[in-house]
Structure 1
Amino acid sequence: MVSHKEARKLKQAQRRAKTAGRAAGHEVDKQDVPVLTSENCDQGSINATAADAPISLSYTLRGYEDGKPFERDLHALDRWATQAADSISVTISTTTNQDALPPLTVHLKQRASVFIGGQLWNTAFILACWFYARHAHGIHDYGALRVCEVGAGIGLLALALAALDARVTATDLADVVPILDDNIARNPHLAIGAGGVPRITAAALDWGDKDAVVPGYPFDLIVACDCIYSEVSAGDLVECLVRQCSPVTPGGPRPATIVWVVSEVRNESIQQAFLEQAREVFEIGYMDVDRDVSPYLPRELRTGLNVRWYVMKLKPGKDE
């Protein structure tokens, strides 16, 4: 079995060879993996590989119950059990070709005393599995993609994206950043790239701070995972997302920044409060969860998904 680093080197060599083939006028391999862009972010149909050979998820919870240490292995989502643990080890793997993409293991610490951001939420599992599966099945290549995660929490999704060779800026409130930094340090096999170059950076970002400067800008992709939880904060979230987007210039050198806001729907009125404000500045579509998300998840995660996935692009002139 090859390591993540060796697998990435192999993919990079394949991309260089295919680029050389194009220059020489050779036919390009039809199994080229497209780089994620604003034009293809919601493409990729269900196929037999995804349906019949799904990825697997397992995670181990560690902590204390009634003053005694416990360790528990889970495969299905259990938010209450997860958030009661002190530490979590998450492993995502493909059930077929582990030579092409080795299992991804992330070690995380939680801190329940930190409001919301100090614990792991279910949509982080869902997105981490989805990104891994789409890469494993050859639908998207995230190599060198510049990603900003808004509301990164303890860092599962950000570290998973870094493992897939994206360049990630993981943001959250200032009191969450030490947890992020600690979890990044716990996972050097995911966080550090070739030559010791970091693939992930943690940064403080208050949604209401209009002067906040986030390292890594401009971004190709912005992800906000389970960030719609209050009508009061919905407006600040929208304004924060606008500030992290690249200016929209028709025909310009950079494509529009993709914004994915993925939320477990607990309160419809809060979703509507977010939508009302987001529609003023963003073009908004939706990922079809049943068609484009569920088939790429572990079987244990496919049922009962009450998730809404907004696909957004900034309207021209709304970056001012």
Structure 2
Amino acid sequence: MSSQPLEAVLEFPIEDASEETFHCFSQKIPSNNLGFLDSKTDVLEIEVAGCDYTIIQSTGLLNSRREEGTTGAVLWKITPLVAAWLASAPPLLAEVLHQNAIVVELGCGVAGLIGLVLARFVQCYILTDLDYILKHVKENIIANAAALENNKKATKRRSGQKGTAADHVLRMLPLDWECDYAQNLETVLPAGSPIDLILLCDCVYNEYLVGALVQTCADACRLGSSRIKPTVVLIAQQLRVDTVFELFLDSLMKEFNVWRVPDAHISAELRPGSGYAVHLAMLKCADGN
């Protein structure tokens, strides 16, 4: 566990979105196609951090012409890699990822895999996406109920909780970045608890959603603005279109200080040359610093 504050470990934030984009995309990027793990099967069996999970996908939804979009209908390659890295308890994130942590994921997709994995490590994990996506997430929580119960059994005994682990740890909230208010998160947050970590995993793909996504992140972070320790945003992204990525970074940097996660603090599967990029962000102070 790092004895230094997170900002001290990360040192200087990124100053230029264009330069950072060039750095990320100048690496040799392997072909991941669109980034689906397997878009042709309705059920995936996957192991992450020593535990087995059954993931129910919606191939029908993926191939539909739904106006709201279908990108969350199946599991993306980057998701189990991020889940495994976070489950390893990276020292860099010790301040925001721990037994009492409150984590919010924006755009969790039908799998909800990161939430399923981290349910055994945190106090509360809030899965958010569009309402029709969350109906599928609920199916995956039910499909993995036994694994969740086994993972949290010891914690429940110590705390005297009743009911299922999913009832206490995993919570869901419909959240449309364009239409809904981030303040709605307060309806599912444990009373009086600020958000420790906000997670975006492969959410940057549509230039028209960039502004709404960044605003949602900023508003969610401000729910805990009175606390001394700021909410941390983790962005893990497959590198696809450099112009969209640069637009996102540029928009993000107007509200946040942003750092690329140093190689020494991240798993080998997510380092430069993997085709993925991982960044951390924290809201700027009122004076812009």
Q: Unmatched 5+ residue regions in structure 1?
A: 1-32, 44-76, 94-102
Shift of 1:92: 2.5
Give yes or no for contact 1:282–1:313 (8 Å, CA) kept in 2. yes
Higher strand share: 1
Q: Residue 164 of structure 1 is aligned with which of 121, 135, 138?
A: 121
Higher helix share: 2
Shift of 1:302: 7.0
1:147 is matched with which residue?
103
- Among the aligned pairs, what percent are the same residue? 23
Distance 2:224 2:216 in 1: 16
| RMSD over aligned Cα atoms | 3.1
1:110 is matched with which residue?
57
Distance 2:52 2:209 in 1: 33
The amino acid that maps onto 1:116 is T
2:283 is matched with which residue?
314
Distance 2:279 2:93 in 1: 20
Q: Residue 92 of structure 1 is aligned with which of 36, 43, 48?
A: 48
Distance 1:35 1:209 in 2: 41
Give yes or no for contact 1:151–1:224 (8 Å, CA) kept in 2. yes
2:87 is matched with which residue?
132
The amino acid that maps onto 2:81 is I
Shift of 1:138: 11
TM-score by length of structure 2 reads: 0.72
| Matched length | 237
Secondary structure of 2:212 counterpart: helix
Shift of 1:190: 4.8
**How far does the alpha carbon of each residue in 1:197-217 deviate from its partner, in whole angstroms, 9 at most, with x for none?**
521112111011243502226
Shift of 1:291: 2.8
TM-score by length of structure 1 reads: 0.65
**How far does the alpha carbon of each residue in 1:21-68 deviate from its partner, in whole angstroms, 9 at most, with x for none?**
xxxxxxxxxxxx56997558869xxxxxxxxxxxxxxxxxxxxxxxxx
Shift of 1:123: 1.5
Distance 1:309 1:81 in 2: 19
Deviates more, 1:168-177 or 1:209-218: 209-218
- Which structure has more relative contact order (CA 8 Å, sep 6+)? It is 2
Q: Unmatched 5+ residue regions in structure 2?
A: 12-31, 63-69
Distance 1:35 1:170 in 2: 30
2:22 is matched with which residue?
none
2:23 is matched with which residue?
none
